[in-house]
Chains A and B, each alone.
Chain A
Amino acid sequence: MDAPSHGGPDAVLVARLRGGDEAAYAELLTLHGGRMLAVARRLLRNEADAQDAVQEAFLQAFRSLESFERRATLGTWLHRITVNACLMRLRSRKRRPEQSIDELLPHYDPSGHHLRRPEPWPPRPDAPLEREERRRIVRDAIDSLPESHRTALLLRDIEGLGNDEVAQALGISPGASKVRVHRARQALRTLLDARVRGGEV
Chain B
Amino acid sequence: MKPEIDPVGADAAAAQPETAGASRARADSPAIVWTWAAGLILAGALALAAPYLVVMSGPRPPSGGRLWDFSVGLGFGALGLAALQFALTGRLRWLTHPFGADIVYLFHRYLSWAAVALMLGHFGIFYVWYQLALGELNPLTARWELTAARLSLLCFVALVVSSQFRERLGLRYEHWRYIHIALAVTGFVAAVAHVLGVGRFTESPEQRALWLGVTLGWLALLIWVRIIRPWVQIRNPWQVVARRDEGGGVTTLELEPLGRPLKNWKPGQFAWLSVGRSAFALKEHPFTISTAPERGPNLSFSIKALGDDTEQLVQTPVGTRAYVDGPYGAFSVDRKAGAEGFVMIAGGVGITPILSNLHALQSRRDPRPVVLIYANPDWDSAAFRDELQAMQSDLRLTLIHVLDDAPDGWQGETGRVDAALLDRHLPPESRDWPHMLCGPGPMIDALRAALRDGGVPARHIDFEIFELV
The judgment on whether A and B are partners is no
| Residues of chain A having any CB pair with chain B under 8 Å | none
| Residues of chain B having any CB pair with chain A under 8 Å | none
